[in-house]
Amino acid sequence: MAAVTASRSRRRRLSRGARRVAIWTLAAVSIAGAGGAVALTRLPIGQEFIEQGAAHALAATGALGLVVTDVQVSGRETTDPATVMAALAARRGTPILAVSPSRAKQQLEALPWVRSAVIERRLPGTLYVRLVERKPLAVWQHGGRHELIDRDGAVIPVRDLSRFSALPTVVGDDAAKHAAALIDILAREPDLAPRVSAAVRVGDRRWNLRIDGAIEVMLPDKDQAGAWSQLARLERTSGLLKRDVQTVDMRLPDRLVLRINAPQPGKEATPAKKAKPAGKPA
């Protein structure tokens, strides 16, 4: 009986030892396999093997139905649809997992009109693209150049500006960063605002406006919004901005001063207009 018990004890010890050997053997094989995979990636043949494996895996996902069936784009107004599809590097039937949102985002945000882009894969087959495009605000004239700018004063790199001729031109080295504030003021008088063809930044303090391509309006340093509203009110009530008016000086707080164009030869001179009190701009 004692001999049988001793034999069973030896078998248990051997069994435990065998299990330990098997566990350590499997661990060693796994470590060796991982090390081999890392080493393999350093070789051209290993890289090719991995790329082929990834391609086969993507093809398998396509076989399971994970392919592009729909592309939804929101926020697009100016960006060409074909350019969006090129940035996605996808068409119908492309494995959706093969589309890289980060790469597409980088490609789209490099376009002139795109401020930001978000790309989402909505499984099983929809790509969703949300664009925030730049809005052209004005043409910025400085240093002998004309450039299109947005509300932030950032340049939109567009070569042909002919289709933006209806936008106002802001002139001066620092005009771009102040343009949005000025145009917001002008928009408060929608009847008069479209008649402003240019605005010249003066001394980083104020603006001179060009109205109807001929009349210069000198806005004050302070309360430019009040002065602009006053000018619009005078135009509505008395038709202030006549063709014989050359400048309207609104820099003084208690009056405005008009300068009249010189009469053409052979025509009767127009009586000079005196400076007229206008009250402090509201």
**Nearest-angstrom CA–CA distance, 167 and 182:** 13
Same domain, 182 and 227: yes
The residue among 42, 133, 29, 44 whose CA lies nearest residue 80 is 133
- DSSP class of residue 128 equals E
- pLDDT for 27: 39
Give backbone dihedrals phi and psi of 233, rounded to 5 degrees, phi first. Answer: -65, -45
Whether the per-residue pLDDT at 139 is higher than 90: the answer is yes
Same domain, 120 and 96: yes
Same domain, 224 and 271: yes
Same domain, 126 and 147: no
Whether the per-residue pLDDT at 264 is higher than 70: the answer is no
Domain around 7: 2-63
CATH number, position 253? 3.40.50.11690
Contacts of 205 (CB under 8 A, 6+ apart): 221
Same domain, 6 and 113: no
- pLDDT for 60: 54
Same domain, 113 and 54: no
**Tens of pLDDT, residues 220-234:** 999 999 999 999 999
Residue 155 lies in a domain: yes
Same domain, 181 and 256: yes
Average pLDDT on 157-167 reads 90
- pLDDT for 13: 46
With vertex at residue 131, the alpha carbon angle to CA 93 and CA 91, rounded to the nearest 5 degrees, is 10
Is the pTM higher than 0.75? The answer reads: no
**Tens of pLDDT, residues 145-154:** 999 999 999 9
Whether the per-residue pLDDT at 111 is higher than 50: the answer is yes
Residue 93 lies in a domain: yes
**Nearest-angstrom CA–CA distance, 47 and 144:** 53
Contacts of 231 (CB under 8 A, 6+ apart): 189, 192, 217, 240, 248, 250
Same domain, 247 and 220: yes
Same domain, 76 and 169: no
Give backbone dihedrals phi and psi of 149, rounded to 5 degrees, phi first. Answer: -130, 160
Residue 199 lies in a domain: yes
E strand or H helix that includes residue 120: strand 114-122
Whether the per-residue pLDDT at 238 is higher than 50: the answer is yes
- pLDDT for 208: 97
What is the identity of the amino acid at 253?
A: P
Same domain, 103 and 166: no
Residue 282 lies in a domain: no
**Nearest-angstrom CA–CA distance, 225 and 206:** 11
Q: How many domains would you assign to the chain?
A: 3
Show the tokens assigned to 115: 């401020």
CATH number, position 128? 3.10.20.310
- pLDDT for 90: 87
Whether the per-residue pLDDT at 104 is higher than 90: the answer is yes
From 100, 133, 166, the end of a domain falls on 133
**Nearest-angstrom CA–CA distance, 179 and 186:** 11
Same domain, 92 and 215: no
